[in-house]
């Protein structure tokens, strides 16, 4: 389990009052995320907005992070957390990259799932919003690579937002990740992601979203996080949730095709889910 090497006081001091740290939201292999209040932007203009402040712990990924940032900088989408600011600070003498993301007010999907399965209507809404987010990312040649319940926030109005784009990879980054290394969450890898293939596309995110949707319908992970089964014999909505409408089952089964090119396009899926959500 990764631990946070920084104390909140050290981080606060390094930002010199520009950010006021709140609770620690998450610590992962790539970094630590705080809820924080952004008082001023880097130019000194007052902001006073809530952010998810991520400190990147691994300097080896700096080049990758830079390219992701460049690709994300101009991306604005209602179902994606917005990048507000990025830069480098010195904490305890160590140069550290930070990114301030829009703070999404709501409940993480994994927390919501701990209370049981979602209704079909709720699942369709999540599918509609997240396919829209995946399509927006893919329009910039970005693959999220870590679509899992922990990275989907449900706003109070029921709209879903995809967060934690720290593992997202832009096309240009293909060679920056070491061969055989993949990002994501075990139990939510697409077959090609599990094989650490290069050149992932939106199809990979489509697959993992289908796993999440099935989990929402079932109230548990469809393979109990058995990644091997996902990679060789993906679950079927028709078998696991026979009570769901055929259109939804067909859409999810299409998304779970083993061969990436046999999955429907994310744009087509979004249109389908949008229609179903009406």
Is 88 among the residues that bind other proteins (CB under 8 A)? no
- Does residue number 261 form part of the binding site for other proteins (CB under 8 A)? yes
Contact segment (CB under 8 A) with other proteins among 19-27, 57-65, 194-202, 219-227 equals: 194-202
Confirm or reject binding of residue 259 to other proteins (CB under 8 A): yes
Q: Which is nearer to other proteins, 126 or 260 (CB)?
A: 260
Q: Does 138 bind other proteins (CB under 8 A)?
A: yes
200 binds other proteins (CB under 8 A): yes
> What angle, 0 to 180 degrees and rounded to 10, lies between the N-to-C axes of helices 202-218 and 266-277?
30
Tokens 């101009």 correspond to 74
Q: Does 115 bind other proteins (CB under 8 A)?
A: no
Radius of gyration of the chain (CA): 19
| Number of alpha carbons in the 13 Å side-chain half-sphere of residue 245 | 11
Site for other proteins in 158-187 (CB under 8 A): 171-172, 174-175, 179
Q: How far apart are CA 252 and CA 257, in angstroms?
A: 9
Nearer to other proteins, 201 or 223 (CB): 201
92 binds other proteins (CB under 8 A): no
96 or 203: CB nearest other proteins: 203
CA distance 137 to 11: 31
Cβ–Cβ < 8 Å for 30, 58: yes
Tokens of 82: 């917005």
Q: Where are the alpha helices (DSSP H) in 88-201?
A: 109-113, 120-139, 191-194
| 211-240 residues near other proteins, rule: CB under 8 A | none
Residues that bind other proteins (CB under 8 A): 138, 141, 171-172, 174-175, 179, 192, 195, 197-203, 259-262, 265, 267
């Amino acid at each position: 389990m990764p631990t946070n090497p920084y104390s909140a006081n050290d981080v606060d001091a390094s930002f010199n009052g520009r950010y006021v740290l709140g609770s620690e939201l998450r610590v992962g292999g790539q970094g630590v995320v705080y809820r924080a209040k952004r008082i001023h932007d880097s130019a000194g203009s007052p902001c006073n907005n809530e952010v998810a402040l991520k400190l990147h712990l691994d300097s080896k990924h700096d080049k990758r992070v830079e390219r992701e940032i460049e690709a994300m900088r101009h991306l604005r989408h209602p179902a994606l957390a917005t990048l507000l600011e990025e830069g480098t600070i010195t904490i305890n003498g160590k140069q550290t990259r930070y990114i301030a993301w829009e703070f999404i007010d709501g409940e993480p999907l994994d927390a919501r799932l701990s209370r049981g399965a979602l209704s079909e209507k709720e699942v369709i809404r999540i599918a509609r919003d997240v396919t829209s987010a995946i399509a927006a990312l893919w329009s910039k040649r970005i693959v999220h690579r870590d679509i899992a319940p922990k990275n989907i926030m449900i706003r109070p109005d029921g709209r879903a937002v995809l967060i934690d784009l720290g593992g997202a990879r832009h096309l240009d980054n293909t060679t920056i990740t070491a061969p055989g290394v993949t990002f994501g969450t075990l139990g939510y890898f697409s077959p090609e992601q599990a094989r650490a293939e290069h050149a992932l596309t939106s199809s990979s995110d489509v697959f993992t979203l289908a796993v999440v949707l099935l989990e929402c319908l079932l109230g548990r992970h469809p393979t109990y996080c058995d990644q091997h089964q996902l990679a060789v014999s993906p679950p079927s909505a028709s078998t696991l949730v026979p009570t769901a409408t055929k259109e939804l089952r067909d859409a999810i089964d299409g998304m779970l095709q083993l061969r990436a090119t046999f999955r429907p396009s994310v744009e087509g899926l979004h249109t389908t889910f949008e229609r179903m959500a009406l």
